[in-house]
A and B are shown apart, each in its own frame.
Chain A
Amino acid sequence: MSVNTNSLQLSDYLEKLPGTTFKRLYQQPSTAFAIFRRMLPHLAKTIVMAMLYMPTPFLISDLEIWVKPTSKRQKDQALATLRSLHIIQSAGPQSMTLTTNFRNSLRLALEGGGDHHSFGVPSTLPVPSDVDLGFLDRYARKKWDDILHYVVNSVEYSDMRDRDTSGGGPKASVKELLIAGRLVEKRSVSTISITQAGFTFLLQEANSQVWTLLLLWLEAADAAGSRAGMDSVDMLSFLFLLASLELGRGYSTDALTEPRRNMLPYLVDFGLIYIPPHDHQQYFPTRLATTLTSSESSLRSVSAGFLAASEGGISDAGDKNAIILETNFRVYAYTSSPLQIAVLALFCELKMRFRELVSGKLSRQSIRKAVDMGITSDQIISYLATHAHEQMHRLAAAQKKPLLPPVIVDQIRLWQLDTERMSVCPGFLFKDFESVREYEDMANFAGEIGVLKWRNDRKGMFFASKVEQIKDFMKNRLTPTGIVLPKSEATTTTTTQTSRTAIPTLYSHANNENIPPNGSKESLKTKYKPFGSLPKSRTLNVFSNLTSSLSRGSLPSFSRTPSMSSTAGVSERTDQRSRTASVASSREAEVVVNPRQVTGAQSCEYWTGRFMALQDRFHSEMLLPENLTTLITAHAVRSHILPPPLAPLQAAAMPTSSSIPNLSYPKARGHKHTSSISSTSSNRASRELDATLLMDENNRARRVFLHLEALCVTNEAKKSLHTWQHSYARRMGKECLLPRGEANKGWVGRLLGKNDHGGKRGHMVGVA
């Protein structure tokens, strides 16, 4: 839930890189090694290692056998990560391999050998006597603390600012970087103030902080472009190289390429490396650099031991793990580091200060103040958790309770909720699916790979934060459609089916409920494009805390068929042909001989006969195995939950009903129709709904009419059908069965949100 849109994360940065960049990155073994070590989830590492020396492509089916069925979710997530980092590629329909560069580089890294010098060329010069581990740690710590101080002090200690800047503050270049990265912003010439990103930055772990700053630097270099002679890919490679170096050793600067040597001064400013003032032939990586690719937890546990052992180590030992939080909202911090005290003061009311101890209290005001400054409750909680005192860990372990008192955690969140009620996350809305099953498959898949943010089964829509994996999934998906229809209508070819699968429309502005969706012309245009060209950057904000208003039924849904009114008459014909044809390609030949088509005006008896026949057949649909299960499931559901009022259901069902023989929209292009015949509509999200549809007499009758109407080739036929339909509807007293355009479309249209559609429809009928 935590939204870190403002703070840069390495994974986000890498994901944005194009595939060619990865190819270049993976040319260097240390980079492949570092990405493997740092970026992959555990299972993904295992899979990569299994594939590394495999001579043949790894079959997906084999992988599925290997992974326990209960861990499907983890497997999918692992594969998703691997794909997004361009580590695996598919080698055929159901198998995958490692990408060539990655495989070669990782093999080289494991085996040694080659001539890539990517693990640093050690310097042969004697190490200066004053450079040892303790010195490097002190040096790195001082540099880094200077940077943090600069950020923190921008909050309120503005009186101290002058002293700091004149004193040992960070270099001007670093300051510029902080300002450019909007961690702090310049209010006027002399004052700076921290931004929300700055707070996020402050509350991160040291390791993430370093990465944040480095990524800012990379982006700045990218922006500067070739002018500065910096290549961000090469820079990133160099950073990974630094991470593989050994602490306390000197490395030769001569072996570096020119651009990399130019990077050294900046790295010195960050405190990542140390260059002896009198000796520019060698550089020493500090702990900040060598732990770049370590996982966060290892920094806490293992190296904490090392740090404690080597005195004067980078002070995580001192300033971490020092906070005790009690259930009465009191906070005690065993620290004397001004930096940590300053950070604590951001969200705590500090009351007392002793030597080595500060005590304070969390209060509504203090949290509100922090939230107003842009700190989120999640940041506060995670800061408290990562810096919790050893005693708290021990107590939590002994009592088997959560680390932080639940009362406090909840209260901090509630205090934040007082001020903020929504969280924003950019992403993609998927809707207008072919069938319930398709919707469910995709939504479940999105859930499995962890990008699903919101779903509404009834509306058949879901919202995902990333689209690439889902895109691939849609491409590979070869599943038959949901509700089975009578065979004659249900003939679709798989090919059209898949091409149609790509359609879920991108929804461009969810927050404006009242704007009719056809306002976004682009989305209509892109709708029928082949899948690869799904627009990527269409973002939208979902207000997840406002779901109540979203689910009110007022969210307009797109009409599934874009209006193409001018060619109505023509497409109507192709439409019917394609429906009857069993295979799309050979449809032309079979068109003429279809005896079901109605060419002329027919008598009342004729229509009655056809009506009854069709109605019977639709009725027997209920007995198809799949539909039967739907009914039974729905029945089971209903026995638990009170049956929902019928009226809204029916209302929601209306547009879907019309889509069953999808011919009811004669405006769409022919081949699209073939595929959509067998489909249920987009809105039919839940089984319950299906069941209602299946059971509903009116709906069935309506379907029959739509079907018949579609079979009418000529206007005379249609007219006679409408006459008969009129009398039938009057006799039965059912308004909803009136021919389209004559029914009271006012309330239907409103309720369904198909504003544009209703209008178009009426218009169409008029033309016809």
Chain B
Amino acid sequence: MNRIDASDHYEVTVTGQTPSLLTIIIDTNPRAWQALGSTLSISAALANILVFVNAHLAFGNDNQVAILAAHSHRAVWLYPKPPTTNGSSRNSSKNPLSKFKKANGGGDGDVEMTGVNGNGSHKAAPLGTSANKYPQFAAIESSILSSLQSLIAETDVSDIPYTTLVAGALTTALSYINKTALSFAPAKPSSSDPNANLGNKNNAGNGAAAAVAGSQQAPALHARILVLSVSDSEPAQYIATMNAVFAASHARIPIDTLSLSPHASPTFLQQAAFITGGSYVAASLNPRGLLTYLMLGFLPDAEARAHLLQATQDRVDFRAACFCHRDVVDTGFVCSVCLSIFCEVPPGDAGCLTCGTKLALGNYGNKPAVLPRKKKKKKKVNGVSGREETGSATGTPVP
């Protein structure tokens, strides 16, 4: 509208940069890291991630960061720490993954991070930092290292599945983003603003959407999620993951994925990146270059991405997991009412397992009847017949 009535020049705004919140989900499945061990150890990866986090924070002093570990059984906050730390540490004295501990040797002090307030440095916590490090960086670093240390200490060696709870971490990240976005949203939306009331009724993911959408002119916070994936997608989490992904897409939060492992292909995360407009990069060929991948591909936030070309996928694995056996299927059956996916016709009377609708399969599975081809009058052009004569779709190759 402004462009039409040429009132652009009336807009007197302070053009500062919008704060951006980077939520990093680190896949900490011990088995997967063990498999990667020869090429990239978790300690090296963590060092790179810390530099990346610092680089993100360096962009402006209101940039925020939140780091989650998607572990084998649960999603754990690494930074900021939840207000009450979980004291139930299971004994794991003979942890075979002792190199994890070595990686954490640098963490020298603990920080009391309170609540969701990302800007912990303002709380004047008595830090034992040196003069050679920016205080905020030091706080984050020690927090991450100590959290990770305790996470690994708590891990039960005997019971480690091959996959990771990415869906849980995504959901946690989304609710955190929503909470932060609300605190950034312009003061109290007046009652005349229809968007605000709409948003509060919805669930966590949509709430963030409303918070962002409420101030559509200039979102108060650019949030994005980066998943560092080392393991396969677990088909059992298909529905949960996809729900989170669609919530993120609705809230316009891009989910970026950096896949490090050559052995795994995080199918669902690939779809997530595609759906939410994030970028998916498979660094499996050269996981050692992690920092360069991060700095070049994943550091630009929404503001910079408006000017930069992002890595795009030429091929997306769009396969879905079926609702009955949680298998990833190429072709399946879809309920025409509730759109549930099944890998085989539900047993019995072919009722949909989700909504119970009786479905008729029509003449699926019948052998196609072979009808004799109708003889056509061929029209000869200059004595040469048309290409129907060959009976194949493609013409005869000509030299």
The yes or no verdict on A and B being binding partners is yes
Which residues of chain A have a CB within 8 Å of any CB of chain B? Answer: 29-30, 33, 36-37, 42-43, 45-46, 49-50, 52-54, 65-68, 71, 74-75, 108-122, 133, 244-249, 255, 291, 293-298, 300-302, 305-306, 381-382, 384-386, 390, 393-394, 397-398, 400, 402-404, 406, 409-410
Would you list which residues of chain B between 132 and 184 have a CB under 8 Å from chain A? 132-135, 137-138, 141, 183-184
B287-306 vs A, CB cutoff 8 Å, 1 = contact: the mask equals 00001100110011001101
| Docked-complex contact A255 and B292, CB < 8 angstroms | no
Distance, CA A390 to CA B291, complexed state (A): 42
- Chain A proximity mask over B1-17: 1 for CB below 8 Å, otherwise 0: 11000010011111111
Q: How far does the alpha carbon of A111 sit from the alpha carbon of B193 in the complex, in Å?
A: 45
**B60 CB–A CB distance under 8 Å:** yes
Report yes or no: A400 in contact with B217, Cβ–Cβ below 8 A: yes
Give every chain A residue within 8 A of B11 (Cβ-Cβ). 402-403
Could you pull out 28 A-B pairs where Cβ atoms are within 8 angstroms? A29-B132, A37-B59, A42-B59, A43-B308, A46-B299, A49-B58, A50-B296, A71-B307, A75-B307, A110-B58, A110-B137, A111-B51, A112-B130, A112-B132, A112-B141, A117-B131, A118-B131, A119-B132, A120-B131, A298-B16, A305-B183, A382-B12, A384-B12, A385-B12, A390-B186, A397-B186, A403-B11, A404-B10
- Residues of chain A lying within 8 A (CB to CB) of residue B184: 301-302
Whether the pair A42, B303 counts as a contact (CB closer than 8 A) is yes
B 96-109 binary contact with A (CB < 8 Å = 1; else 0)? 00000000000000
With CB as the reference atom, state the residue of chain B lying closest to A388.
Answer: B12
Asked whether, in the complex, the Cβ of A118 is within 8 Å of the Cβ of B16, the reply is no
Contacts of A133 in B (CB 8 A): 124
Interface majority SS on A: helix, strand, loop or mixed?
helix
Separation in Å of the B40 CB from the closest CB of chain A? 16
The smallest beta-carbon distance between A154 and chain B, in angstroms, is 28
User: Given A49-B299, A119-B133: A37 and B10 within 8 A (CB)?
Assistant: no
Which chain B residues border A400 with CB–CB below 8 Å? 1, 217
Q: Is the CB of B60 within 8 A of A119?
A: no
User: Is B336 an interface residue, CB under 8 A from the partner?
Assistant: no
- The answer to whether A113 touches B132, judged by C-beta atoms less than 8 angstroms apart, is yes
Q: Are B61 and A37 in contact (CB under 8 A)?
A: yes
Q: Which of A37, A114, A245, A297 contacts B14 (CB 8 A)?
A: A297
A45 touches B54 (CB 8 A): no
Flag if A409 contacts B307 (CB, 8 Å): no
Which residues of the other chain, A, contact B14 by a CB distance below 8 angstroms?
A: 296-297, 300, 385-386
**Closest B residue, CB atoms, query A291:** B61
> Residues of B with Cβ closer than 8 Å to A?
1-2, 7, 10-19, 51, 54-55, 58-62, 119, 121-122, 124, 127, 129-135, 137-138, 141, 183-184, 186-187, 189-190, 192-193, 215, 217, 220, 291-292, 295-296, 299-300, 303-304, 306-309
Instruction: State the Cβ distance, A425 to closest chain B Cβ, in Å.
Output: 18
Q: Identify the closest chain B residue to A46 (Cβ).
A: B304
Contact of B295 among A53, A68, A390 (CB under 8 A): A53
For residue B307, which residue of chain A has the nearest CB? A71
Min C-beta distance of B223 to chain A, whole Å: 15
Are A119 and B135 CB-contacts (below 8 A) given A45-B59, A248-B124?
yes
Is the Cβ of B62 less than 8 Å from the Cβ of A301? yes
Q: Is the pair B131, A122 in contact by a Cβ cutoff of 8 Å?
A: yes
Shortest A732–chain B CB gap in Å is 52
CB neighbours (8 Å) of B60 from chain A are: 37, 294-295, 298
Q: A119-B134, A120-B131, A398-B193 are in contact. Are A381 and B12 (CB under 8 A)?
A: yes
Q: In angstroms, how far is the closest chain A Cβ from the Cβ of B172?
A: 23
Once the chains are docked, how many angstroms separate the CA of A133 from the CA of B123?
10
Assess A42 versus B124: contact at CB under 8 Å? Given A53-B292, A111-B51, A119-B134. Answer: no
Q: Which residues of A contact B19 (CB under 8 A)?
A: 298, 301-302
Q: Is the interface of B mostly helix, strand, loop or mixed?
A: loop
Judging by beta carbons under 8 Å apart, are A118 and B132 in contact?
Answer: yes
One of B61, B138, B304 near A43 (C-beta < 8 A): B304
Do B12 and A404 touch across chains, with their CB atoms under 8 A apart?
yes
Residues in A whose Cβ lies below 8 Å from that of B190: 394, 398
Q: Pick the 10 closest A-B CB pairs, nearest first.
A: A297-B16, A71-B307, A385-B12, A112-B133, A248-B124, A402-B10, A117-B131, A406-B10, A121-B131, A298-B62
Q: In the assembled complex, which residues on chain A have CB atoms less than 8 Å from the CB atom of B51?
A: 53, 110-111
> A112 contacts which of B137, B215, B220, B296 (Cβ < 8 Å)?
B137
Which residues in B have their C-beta under 8 angstroms from that of A52?
55, 295
Name the distance in Å between A556's Cβ and chain B's nearest Cβ: 34
Bound-state Cα–Cα, A54 to B15, Å: 31
A566 to B284, CA, bound (A): 75
Which one of B2, B12, B59, B61 lies within 8 Å of A409 (CB-CB)? B12
Give bound CA distance, A302 to B2, whole Å: 28
Q: Report A-chain residues with C-beta under 8 Å of the C-beta of B306.
A: 68, 71
A293 to B61 CA separation, bound complex (whole angstroms): 8
In addition to A36-B58, A295-B61, A385-B12, 13 A-B residue pairs with Cβ atoms within 8 Å of each other are A42-B303, A42-B304, A108-B132, A112-B134, A113-B133, A116-B132, A118-B132, A291-B61, A297-B18, A302-B62, A305-B183, A393-B186, A403-B11
Q: Once the chains bind, are B187 and A244 in contact (CB under 8 Å)?
A: no
A119 contacts B131, C-beta separation under 8 Å:
yes
Complex-state Cα separation, A116 to B130, whole angstroms: 10
For A249, list chain B residues within 8 Å (CB): 124, 135
Chain A residues, Cβ within 8 Å of B299? 46, 49-50
* B1, B13, B18 — most chain A CB neighbours (10 Å): B13
Chain B contacts for A53, CB-based, 8 A: 51, 291-292, 295
* B216: min CB distance to chain A, Å: 9
In the complex, what residue of chain B is closest to A406 when comparing beta carbons? B10
Tell me how far the C-beta of B135 lies from the nearest C-beta in chain A, rounded to whole angstroms.
5
B13 with A385: CB separation less than 8 A: yes
Contact A42 B292 (CB under 8 A): no
A385 to B13, CA, bound (A): 7
User: Which of B2, B133, B295 is packed against the most chain A CB atoms within 10 Å?
Assistant: B133
The chain A residue with its CB closest to the CB of B47 is A111
A670 vs chain B, min Cβ distance (A): 48
Expressed in whole angstroms, the Cα–Cα distance for A306 and B61 within the complex equals 14
Once the chains bind, are B134 and A33 in contact (CB under 8 Å)?
yes
Contact across chains for A122 and B309 when beta carbons are under 8 A apart: no
Using A37-B60, A397-B186, A397-B217 as known contacts, say yes or no to A403 and B304 having CB atoms under 8 A apart. no
In the assembled complex, the Cα of A494 lies from the Cα of B122 at a distance in Å of 60
B193→A294 contact, CB < 8 A: no
Min Cβ gap A115→B in Å is: 7
Residues of B within 8 A of A294 (CB): 60-62
**Looking across the interface, which residue of chain A has its beta carbon closest to that of B292?**
A53
Complex interface: chain B residues within 8 A of A293 (CB): 61
- Bound-state Cα–Cα, A255 to B131, Å: 10
- B-side contacts of A71, CB under 8 Å: 306-308
Q: Which residues of B contact A406 (CB under 8 A)?
A: 7, 10
Q: Which of B119, B133, B291, B308 contacts A67 (CB 8 A)?
A: B308
- The interface residues of chain A lying within 8 Å CB-to-CB of B135 are 119, 244-246, 249
Chain A proximity of B146: nearest CB distance (Å): 16
CA–CA, A402 and B292, complex, Å: 42
Docked pose: A53 CA to B288 CA in angstroms: 13
Closest to A116 in B: B132
